[in-house]
Amino acid sequence: MKLLLLEDNKKLNETITKRLKLKGYKVESFMDGADAFNAISEGFSCFILDINVPNIDGIKILKKIREYYTEVPVIIISASVELDVIKQSYDFGCNDYLKKPFFIDELEIKVQKLCKIQDELIKFDENCYFDFKSSKIVINNEEIRLTKKEKLLMNLFLDNKNQILSYESIENYVWEGNYVSLDSIRSLVRRLRKHLDNKYVTTVIDTGYIFKTN
């Protein structure tokens, strides 16, 4: 599972990153809000955001995340004790709020509660698997590199295995909420299907798709 961390205190950023990596998470850390803002669409399964950071604050990033991803967990970490700031964080959709200073164990517990660690290798059968770390599909020991949108779609399918994914959900996640035609969505799914056995991706007529795996 890949997490985005936004924390402008260098020492705290490094400490959190090190601890979460030891727990098996893949962490992309940022100290500048603008850099984190531009990375939102890179297939993250959890966001940890400080509020008071350079250029774009954590609340604005939270609002942007919630425009596209309603289910992805967001944890706010902040030194602010102002009730208005805390209320605003929850109003805009954060899942939990942690006041600084805090023990790293506290954050770790919240991440474990909200985010389930994905296995690094997701096996579809004995000859086919997806490598989360490198975002590659491997079939009969042959590596298949995915495009950015194929990676995002693969992540979305695996985060929602055996559940119906609507066209709208795919549009919001893969195209960041921008309008895209149904033909474009179907074309992307066809390209991913070419890399996989068709038995994994099932079409739900007039609704979307189900990615079926054990």
**Is there a contact between 49 and 76 (Cβ–Cβ < 8 Å)?**
yes
Question: pLDDT grade, residue 106 (50/70/90)?
Answer: confident
For residue 190, what pLDDT is reported? 92
Mean pLDDT of the region 109-133: 73
Question: pLDDT grade, residue 209 (50/70/90)?
Answer: very high
**Is there a contact between 26 and 2 (Cβ–Cβ < 8 Å)?**
yes
Query: Structure pTM?
Result: 0.58
The yes-or-no verdict on residue 207 having pLDDT over 80 is yes
The yes-or-no verdict on residue 117 having pLDDT over 60 is no
Q: Where in the chain is the domain with CATH 3.40.50.2300?
A: 2-114
Mean pLDDT of the region 180-208: 88
Angstrom CA distances, 195 to 20, 140, 144, 151, stand at 32, 12, 7, 12
pLDDT tens digit sequence for 124-151: 777 777 876 667 788 888 888 888 888 8
Q: Which amino acid is at 128?
A: C
What CATH class does 2-114 carry?
alpha beta
Mean pLDDT of the region 111-128: 71
Which fold would CATH assign to domain 121-211? Arc Repressor Mutant, subunit A (1.10.10)
The yes-or-no verdict on residue 84 having pLDDT over 90 is no
Mean predicted lDDT score pLDDT of the chain: 84
Question: pLDDT grade, residue 75 (50/70/90)?
Answer: very high
**Is there a contact between 53 and 95 (Cβ–Cβ < 8 Å)?**
no
For residue 13, what pLDDT is reported? 93
DSSP letters for the chain: -EEEEE---HHHHHHHHHHHHHTT-EEEEESSHHHHHHTTTTT-SEEEEESS-SSS-HHHHHHHHHHH-SSS-EEEEES---HHHHHHHHHTT-SEEEESS--HHHHHHHHHHH-PPPPSEEEEETTEEEETTTTEEEETTEEEEPPHHHHHHHHHHHHTTTSEEEHHHHHHHHSTT----HHHHHHHHHHHHHHS-TTSEEEETTTEEEE---
Max CA separation in the chain (angstroms): 56
Report the percent of the chain where pLDDT is more than 90: 28
Q: 46-60, 90-104, 106-120: which range is least confident on average?
A: 106-120
pLDDT tens digit sequence for 30-45: 999 999 999 887 778 8
Question: pLDDT grade, residue 101 (50/70/90)?
Answer: confident
